[in-house]
Amino acid sequence: ATGNPGTKIDTGHASYAAAITPDGKTAIVTNLFDHSVTLVSTVTNTVGATIQVGSNPFAVAAARRGNWP
């Protein structure tokens, strides 16, 4: 690590919290005012999907097993 910021990735309005999946391949970012979470590939630094979740998501966690329902 160089201590320098990496690539800027736009996810949504008021990105607030983030979690990394156990395999390190995906960041889950909450978008507070868009009422959504965005999945970002940490391998390609690209947005994968944005999912509507309800009012003002302010926290997120990744399951230890790393699987999705």
CA distance linking residue 65 with residue 26, whole number of Å? 13
Quote the pTM value: 0.82
61 backbone dihedrals φ, ψ, rounded to 5°: -145, 155
> What rounded mean pLDDT belongs to the chain?
88
Split at pLDDT 50, 70, 90, the class of 63 is confident
Are 57 and 32 in contact by the 8 Å Cβ rule? The answer is yes
| Residue 68 pLDDT greater than 80, yes or no | no
CA distance linking residue 33 with residue 6, whole number of Å? 24
| Residue 29 pLDDT greater than 90, yes or no | yes
| Residue 43 pLDDT greater than 90, yes or no | yes
Are 31 and 40 in contact by the 8 Å Cβ rule? The answer is no
